[in-house]
């Protein structure tokens, strides 16, 4: 069986405060970004609006398409060019007055574009429309889905291991979810339903990584009962390090392939997954396990007091 890092003796726990600083700094950057942007940028799934994708026979600049959308009566439209193609994504805030005289929004946009560029064709690939009320309901459901999943993970790990392990693992998962949201805020990317699906998938992936480490810790606590708890954690992490790195790398390669070649529809999901896999692998060692150690120290100090 192929292994890497087969016989390592890294003192992970002695470096935990350094990585606390890394995580706190990244979280603060994410918070500042979210505040600076006035909150997360929600896609039409949550905010409501129209999403129209057109395939142009000639490439037009984003600025030119935005100008043409303004001439069609949509000055607030957001334009995004699809990578390596002539396709454009046009997002328009929902307004019932947009549908006038039986002419759809997509037809008005296509007419505005083709009238200014004779010979150019604009094929409608998709048109989606979601009301603000429905979008708000979807946002609430997504929030509760994430919150309930964290609660269930807390119960499951608390039952299978110890409460201190459960708390460390759930904080690590919340840490991973926030990292993804911060990444999307920093790069001003939309939060859509595929991104929420990625958040829930990353939660499961991250907790699986953490459980592998915790399982080994439980085994070593029996075998090395005379060793300090910090030493047991280091031994357990080193023993599972090869599995963690190989699993993370292979999953990351798959998600990066989807992000690069999977097309626009699945791109944000794949990007969120890629970020989550990296952060989840990191947090299973330097957040979940390290917090279990801190909670153990706190319990021992309380017992002595």
Contact 85, 265 (CB under 8 A): no
The whole-angstrom separation of Cα 131 and Cα 129 is 7
Enter the tokens of residue 195.
Answer: 């991104």
Give me the mean pLDDT over the 28-36 stretch. Answer: 95
Query: Where do the domains of the chain lie?
Result: 13-43+134-304, 49-130
Give me the mean pLDDT over the 119-147 stretch. Answer: 81
The whole-angstrom separation of Cα 133 and Cα 136 is 5
Give me the mean pLDDT over the 83-97 stretch. Answer: 77
Side-chain half-sphere CA neighbours of 18 within 13 A: 7
Question: According to CATH, what is the number of the domain 13-43+134-304?
Answer: 1.20.1640.10
pLDDT digits (tens, 9 = 90+) for 191-246: 888 898 899 889 888 888 888 888 898 888 888 888 888 999 999 999 888 888 88
Between residues 3 and 278, the one the model is more confident about: 278
Contact 278, 179 (CB under 8 A): no
Domain 13-43+134-304 identical in fold to domain 49-130 = no
pLDDT digits (tens, 9 = 90+) for 255-280: 999 998 887 778 889 999 999 999 99
- Report the predicted TM-score, pTM, of the whole model to 2 decimal places: 0.80
To the question of domain 49-130 being in CATH 3.40.190.10, the answer is no
129 band by pLDDT with thresholds 50, 70 and 90: confident
């Amino acid at each position: 069986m192929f292994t890497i890092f087969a016989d390592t003796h890294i003192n992970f726990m002695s470096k935990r405060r350094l990585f606390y600083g890394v995580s706190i700094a990244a979280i603060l950057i994410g918070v500042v970004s979210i505040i600076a942007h006035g909150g997360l940028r929600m896609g039409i799934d949550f905010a409501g609006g129209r999403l129209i994708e057109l395939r142009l026979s000639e490439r037009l600049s984003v600025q030119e398409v935005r100008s043409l959308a303004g001439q069609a009566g949509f000055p607030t439209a957001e334009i995004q060019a699809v990578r390596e193609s002539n396709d454009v994504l046009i997002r328009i805030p929902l307004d019932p007055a947009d549908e006038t005289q039986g002419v759809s929004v997509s037809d008005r946009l296509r007419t505005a574009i083709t009238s200014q560029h004779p010979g150019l064709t604009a094929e409608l690939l998709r048109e989606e429309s979601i009301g603000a009320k429905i979008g708000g309901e979807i946002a609430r459901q997504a929030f509760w889905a994430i919150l309930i999943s964290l609660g269930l993970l807390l119960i499951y790990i608390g039952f299978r291991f110890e409460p201190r392990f459960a708390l460390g693992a759930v904080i690590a998962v919340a840490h991973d979810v926030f990292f993804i949201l911060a990444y999307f805020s920093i790069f001003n990317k939309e939060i859509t339903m595929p991104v929420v699906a990625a958040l829930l998938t990353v939660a499961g992936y991250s907790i699986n990584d953490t459980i592998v480490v915790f399982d080994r810790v439980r085994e070593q606590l029996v075998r090395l009962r005379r060793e300090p708890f910090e030493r047991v954690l280091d031994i357990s992490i080193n023993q599972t390090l090869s599995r963690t790195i190989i699993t993370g790398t292979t999953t990351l390669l798959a998600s990066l392939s989807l992000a690069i070649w999977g097309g626009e529809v699945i791109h944000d999901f794949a990007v969120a997954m890629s970020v989550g896999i990296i952060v989840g692998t990191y947090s299973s060692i330097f957040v979940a396990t390290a917090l279990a150690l801190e909670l153990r120290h706190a319990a021992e100090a309380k017992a002595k007091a």
